[in-house]
């Protein structure tokens, strides 16, 4: 899809339309893209969050299965899901061997931050 203009207009027009029309995620990915280009990344992430944010596991599976830049898109969607639902919302086997590091000396710190964000959202 060729587009020229501000990113917010693209997202507001094309992503909104796809969400409202319940467009298939593969069709959306093929039409809009899901690569390393920022406009594609943001559009795909917003599409996934609009459709699957109620289900952290499903949102992650959709994010990495149907995107080309799956590591970046998966990281963004995973961060959003962790912030919205907490680390306990993910399957234990996904988290079991992760260190949760922000640096080489702080094992588990990411999980503490995610849980803290969730606490703040529950005020």
Q: In the prediction, which pLDDT does 11 show?
A: 92
Instruction: Give the C-alpha separation, 13 to 74, whole Å.
Output: 24
Q: Give 27-57 pLDDT, tens digit per residue.
A: 999 999 999 999 999 999 999 999 999 999 9
In the chain, where are the structural domains located? 7-121
Q: What is the pTM (predicted TM-score) of this model?
A: 0.81
Q: In the prediction, which pLDDT does 96 show?
A: 83
Residues 6 or more apart whose Cβ sits within 8 Å of residue 47: 15, 18, 19, 25, 28, 32
Q: In the prediction, which pLDDT does 76 show?
A: 95
Residues 6 or more apart whose Cβ sits within 8 Å of residue 111: 87, 95, 100
């Amino acid at each position: 899809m060729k587009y020229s203009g501000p990113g917010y207009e693209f997202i507001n027009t094309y992503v909104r339309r796809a969400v409202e029309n319940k467009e298939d995620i593969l069709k959306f990915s093929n039409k809009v893209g899901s690569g390393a280009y920022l406009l594609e990344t943001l559009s795909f992430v917003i599409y996934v969050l609009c459709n699957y944010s109620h289900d952290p596991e499903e949102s992650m599976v959709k994010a990495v299965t149907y995107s080309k830049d799956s590591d970046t898109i998966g990281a963004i969607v995973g961060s959003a899901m962790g912030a919205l639902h907490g680390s306990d919302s993910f399957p234990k086997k996904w988290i079991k061997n992760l260190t949760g590091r922000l640096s080489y000396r702080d094992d588990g710190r990411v999980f503490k931050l995610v849980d803290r964000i969730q606490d703040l959202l529950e005020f």
